[in-house]
C-alpha cells in the first residue's frame, strides 16, 4: 500500500504591520508596540501627545527634585542662623534676670545690715522692697512659663516640609521671645525707679546714722580736748582695706548712669556706716545702769565721810541695790574682785585707749580675762567698800586720763 503525504502549505510571509511613516523620523512620533501571545498579537499605540506629557512630567519631577534639594540645604542654614539668634536672645534674657537678682539681693542685704529697725525710714524701705518683690515674682513667672524650642527636634527632621515648618517655628518663637525680652526690659526700667528710691533711702538712713555717730564723737572730743586728748575713730585708716559685696560692672542696665552713680554713693555710705559702727563698739557711750540719779559729779567735791575737798575720778549713779550694771562697749575684763575703797570692782579694757571701771558692786558676773560685748550685764548695783548707800561708782579713762563719764552717757 502506497502512503501518500500531503504537501505542507507554504508559510505566509510575516507581514510587517509597522510601516514607517513620514512622522517616524520625529522625536515624539507615534509609537506602536506589538505583543504576541498564544499565536495572537496585540498592537498598542502611544501617541506623540502622551509622549510629550510624560516627558514634561519627568522634566518637572527633575526640576522639583533639584529645587527641593536646594531649598532643604538653604533651610538648614536658615534654621542654624535662627537658632544662633535665638540663643543670643535667651542669653540676653538670662543676663537681664541675673542683673536684676544681683541688684535686688545687694539692696536687701544693705537694708538687713542697717540695724535701726525703729527708724521711720526703715518702713519706707520695706514698702519699696515689697513693690520690688512683686515685680521680681512677675519676672519669675515669665521665666517659669517660657517654653524654649527643642533644637534636637529640628535636627531630626529630614523632609523639606518639616524643615520649613521648624524654620517658621524658630522665626516665630524668636519674635515672640524678643517681645517678651522687650517687656522684661520695660519692667526692669520700671524696677530701676524703685531701686533708685531704695538706694536713696538707704543712703539717707546710713547718712543719719553716721551724722549721729559724728555728733557723739564731737561731744566726746570736747571733753577729751580739755585734757589734751583727741579721739579719731578713723585712726586705723581703711584706705588699704578692700572688700565688700560684689557689684557687677554691667549693673547699669540700659546705660542707666544715674542708677550706677547712686549705687556707688549708697555702698560708700553704707561702708562708712559699718566702719563707724564697728569703731564705736569700742567707745563706752550710754548709761551703764537703766535707772539712776546723779548723786556725785565728776571732778572736785566734798568727801562724803570727812567733808574735805577731794578729787572725784568718776561719777556716782545712785540706784536700787541689785539693779543690773551693763558695759557700754566691747572689751576684755582686766580686773574683777575686791579693791580698797572701791569694794567689789570690775575694770574693762575696750581698746582704742578706752577703759571703764565699775565700783561698790553687790555682785560681779564676770571674771578677769572674760570677753564682754556691748550691753552685756556684768554685775549688780551695791554698797560695798567706802560707800554711804547703794550706788554705782563709774569711771571712764582715755589713754590713762580720767574723763567725765556724764559726757559719754549723754552722748549716746
Residues 92 and 94: their CA atoms lie apart, in Å, by 5
User: Tell me, what's the pLDDT at 239?
Assistant: 46
> Which triple of cell numbers denotes residue 155?
535636627
Averaged pLDDT, 269-278: 84
Q: Which of 321, 295, 310 is nearest to 394 (CA)?
A: 295
- The region, left, alpha or beta by phi > 0 then psi within -120 to 50, assigned to residue 293 is beta
DSSP state of 188: H
Contacts of 277 (CB under 8 A, 6+ apart): 115, 209, 213
Cβ burial, residue 187 (10 Å; 0-12/13-18/19+): middle
Q: Is 322 helix (H, G, I), strand (E, B) or coil?
A: coil
pLDDT per residue as tens digits for the range 21-77: 544 446 677 777 777 777 777 777 777 888 788 888 888 888 887 777 766 666 666
Alpha carbon of 49 to those of 1, 27, 45, 46, 221: distances in Å? 68, 12, 11, 8, 117
**β-bridge partners, 333:** 348
Instruction: Pick the more confident residue, 66 or 391.
Output: 391
DSSP state of 26: S
Percentages of the chain per state (helix, strand, coil), in multiples of 5: 50, 20, 30
Q: Is 242 helix (H, G, I), strand (E, B) or coil?
A: coil
Least-confidence region, from 44-58, 119-133, 248-262, 278-292: 119-133
Give the angle subtended at the CA of 130 by the CAs of 128 and 134, to the nearest 5°: 115
> Is the CB of residue 374 less than 8 Å from the CB of residue 327?
yes
Residue 18: other Cβ atoms inside 10 A: 12
Residues 61 and 88: their CA atoms lie apart, in Å, by 40
Q: Is the pLDDT of residue 119 over 70?
A: no
Q: Is 244 helix (H, G, I), strand (E, B) or coil?
A: coil
User: Tell me, what's the pLDDT at 277?
Assistant: 85
Alpha carbon of 169 to those of 78, 83, 177: distances in Å? 12, 11, 12
DSSP for 246-306 reads ---GGGSGGG-HHHHHHHHHHHHHHHHHHHHHHHHTTS--S-SBSS-EEEE-SEEEE-TTT
Cβ burial, residue 239 (10 Å; 0-12/13-18/19+): exposed
> Which triple of cell numbers denotes residue 89?
536672645
Most confident region among 133-142, 193-202, 225-234, 357-366 by mean pLDDT = 357-366
Residues 328 and 392: their CA atoms lie apart, in Å, by 14
Most confident region among 14-28, 80-94, 290-304 by mean pLDDT = 290-304
Percent of the chain with pLDDT over 90: 25
pLDDT per residue as tens digits for the range 189-245: 777 777 778 888 888 888 888 888 888 888 889 988 988 888 888 776 454 555 555
Q: Is 334 helix (H, G, I), strand (E, B) or coil?
A: strand
Q: Is the pLDDT of residue 253 over 50?
A: no
Residues 227 and 400: their CA atoms lie apart, in Å, by 11
Residues 340 and 63: their CA atoms lie apart, in Å, by 117
> Is the CB of residue 361 less than 8 Å from the CB of residue 345?
yes
Give 70-74 contacts, CB < 8 A, sequence gap 24+. Answer: 71/160, 71/164, 72/160, 72/163
Which H or E run contains 35?
strand 31-37
User: Which residue matches cell numbers 538653604?
Assistant: 74
Give 146-155 contacts, CB < 8 A, sequence gap 24+. Answer: 146/177, 146/180, 148/90, 149/83, 149/86, 149/173, 151/83, 154/79, 154/83
> Which triple of cell numbers denotes residue 242?
578692700
Amino acid at each position: 500500500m502506497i502512503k501518500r503525504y500531503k504537501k505542507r502549505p507554504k508559510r505566509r510571509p510575516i507581514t510587517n504591520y509597522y510601516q514607517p511613516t513620514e512622522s517616524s523620523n520625529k522625536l515624539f512620533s507615534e509609537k506602536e508596540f506589538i505583543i504576541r501571545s498564544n499565536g495572537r498579537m496585540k498592537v498598542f499605540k502611544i501617541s506623540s501627545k502622551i509622549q510629550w506629557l510624560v516627558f514634561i512630567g519627568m522634566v518637572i519631577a527633575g526640576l522639583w527634585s533639584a529645587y527641593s534639594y536646594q531649598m532643604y540645604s538653604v533651610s538648614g542654614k536658615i534654621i542654624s542662623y535662627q537658632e544662633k539668634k535665638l540663643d543670643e536672645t535667651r542669653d540676653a534674657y538670662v543676663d537681664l534676670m541675673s542683673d536684676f537678682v544681683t541688684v535686688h539681693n545687694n539692696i536687701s542685704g544693705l537694708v538687713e545690715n542697717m540695724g535701726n529697725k525703729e527708724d521711720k525710714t526703715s518702713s519706707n524701705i520695706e514698702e519699696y522692697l515689697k513693690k520690688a518683690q512683686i515685680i521680681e515674682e512677675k519676672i519669675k513667672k515669665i521665666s517659669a512659663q517660657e517654653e524654649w524650642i527643642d533644637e534636637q527636634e529640628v535636627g531630626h527632621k529630614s523632609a523639606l516640609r518639616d524643615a520649613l515648618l521648624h524654620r517658621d517655628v524658630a522665626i516665630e518663637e524668636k519674635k515672640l521671645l524678643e517681645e517678651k525680652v522687650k517687656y522684661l526690659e520695660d519692667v526692669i526700667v520700671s524696677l530701676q525707679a524703685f531701686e533708685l528710691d531704695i538706694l536713696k533711702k538707704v543712703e539717707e538712713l546710713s547718712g543719719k546714722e553716721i551724722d549721729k555717730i559724728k555728733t557723739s564723737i564731737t561731744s566726746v572730743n570736747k571733753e577729751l580736748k580739755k585734757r589734751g586728748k583727741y579721739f579719731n575713730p578713723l585712726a586705723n585708716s581703711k584706705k588699704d582695706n578692700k572688700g565688700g559685696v560684689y557689684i557687677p560692672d554691667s549693673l547699669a542696665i540700659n546705660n542707666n548712669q544715674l542708677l550706677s552713680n547712686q549705687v556707688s554713693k549708697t555702698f560708700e555710705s553704707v561702708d562708712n556706716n559699718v566702719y563707724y559702727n564697728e569703731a564705736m563698739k569700742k567707745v563706752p557711750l550710754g548709761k551703764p545702769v537703766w535707772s539712776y540719779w546723779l548723786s556725785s559729779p565728776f571732778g572736785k567735791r566734798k568727801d562724803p565721810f570727812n567733808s574735805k575737798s577731794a578729787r572725784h575720778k568718776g561719777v556716782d549713779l545712785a540706784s536700787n541695790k541689785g539693779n543690773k550694771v551693763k558695759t557700754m562697749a566691747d572689751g576684755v575684763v582686766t580686773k574683777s574682785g575686791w579693791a580698797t575703797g572701791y569694794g567689789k570692782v570690775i575694770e574693762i579694757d575696750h581698746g582704742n585707749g578706752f577703759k571703764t571701771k565699775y565700783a561698790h558692786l553687790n555682785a560681779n558676773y564676770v571674771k578677769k580675762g572674760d570677753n564682754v560685748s556691748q550691753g552685756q550685764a556684768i554685775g549688780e548695783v551695791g554698797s560695798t567698800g567706802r560707800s554711804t548707800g547703794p550706788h554705782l561708782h563709774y569711771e571712764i579713762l582715755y589713754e590713762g586720763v580720767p574723763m567725765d563719764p556724764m559726757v559719754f552717757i549723754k552722748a549716746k
